[in-house]
Amino acid sequence: MSYITNIFTGFWSVLAGMVVTLKYMFRKPVTEVYPRVKKPMFPRFKGPTSFVVDEKTGDHRCISCELCVKICPSLCITLEKERGEDKKFHLKEYKVDYTLCSLCSLCIEVCPTDALTHAKDYEIPALSQSEMINDFLKPFREKQKTSQPVAP
C-alpha cells in the first residue's frame, strides 16, 4: 500500500514544486543591469585607498611621516620625500601597488592627519600590472598644472 501512496505523494510534490517555479517565473527579476545602471557603493565599502582632498587648501594632507609605510603588512606603499627650504618634509612621490594591497585599511587608521581614505571606485580592471601601480600625487600635479596659468 505504501508503494501506491509513495507514487502519489511523489507525483503531487512534483506538481507542487512546478507551481512554485511557475509563480517565480512571473515575478520581477532582481537583476541589477550593472553597466547601464551603476549603483552607488555603500558607505563602508572599501575601495582602493586614495588621498583625501583638503577642502581649505585643495591639496593633500600628507606630512610624510611614513607611518603608513611602516605599518603596511603587504609592503605595497612606496614613499619618497625631500626636505624643503622650510626644514619640513615635502612629499615627492607616493605610490601604492594595488597588485599587493589587500585593503586592510591599517594605513588609514594609523594616519595622524587623516590624509588617506577608501575611494568608492570599484571598476578597476587593468590590462597590465604596471597600470595598477597608482600614483597618488598624479591628480594633484595635474591640478597644479591647470591652475598655474591662472596664477600670476
Partner 1 sequence: MNELFRIILSLVIVIGFVLINSLVLVWLERKVSARIQLRRGPLYVGWFGLLQTFADALKMLGKELIFPKNCDKVLYFLAPILSFAPVLGAFLVIPFGQHLVIQDLNIGLLLVFAFSGLSFIGIFMAGWASNNKYSLLGGMRSVAQNISYEIPLLLSSLNIVMMAKSFRLSDIVRAQAHVPFILLQPLAFIIFITSALAESNRTPFDIPEAESELVAGFHTEYSGLRFGIFFISEYTYVFISSCVATALFLGGSHGPFLSGWAWFLMKAYFVVFVVMWVRWTLPRLRSDQLITFAWKVLIPLSLFNIICTALALQLLKQ
Partner 2 sequence: MEIREIQKVTPDDIQVSEGVALFKLDQLLDKARSNSLWPLTFGLTCCAIEMMAVGSPRYDIDRFGFGVFRATPRQADVMIVSGTISRKMAPRIKTLYDQMPSPKWVIAMGGCAIAGGPFKYPGQYAILEGIDKIIPVDVYIPGCPPRPEALVSALLKLQEKITAKKD
Q: What is the DSSP letter of 130?
A: G
33 sits near partner 1 (criterion: CB under 8 A): yes
Stretch that binds partner 1, among 29-37, 51-59, 103-111, 141-149 (CB under 8 A): 29-37
Contact 79, 91 (CB under 8 A): yes
Q: Which one of 1, 2, 8, 25 is in contact with partner 1 (CB under 8 A)?
A: 25
Burial class, 53, CB count within 10 angstroms (exposed 0-12 / middle 13-18 / buried 19+): middle
Backbone angles phi, psi at 68, to 5 degrees: -65, -40
21 sits near partner 1 (criterion: CB under 8 A): yes
Shortest Cβ distance from residue 31 to partner 1 (Å)? 5
Q: Give residues with Cβ within 8 angstroms of 90, minimum separation 6.
A: 64, 81, 82, 83, 84
43: Cα separation from own chain's centroid: 11
Shortest Cβ distance from residue 43 to partner 2 (Å)? 15
20 sits near partner 2 (criterion: CB under 8 A): no
Q: Exposed e or buried b for every residue in 109-130, given b needs 16+ CB within 10 A?
A: eebeeebbebeeeeeeeeeeee
97 sits near partner 2 (criterion: CB under 8 A): yes
Select from partner 1, partner 2, none the partner in contact with residue 20, using the beta carbon and a kind-dependent cut-off of 5 to 8 Å. partner 1
Binding site for partner 2 (CB under 8 A): 29-36, 48, 73-75, 97-104, 121-129, 131-132
Binding site for partner 1 (CB under 8 A): 7, 11, 14, 17-18, 20-22, 24-31, 33
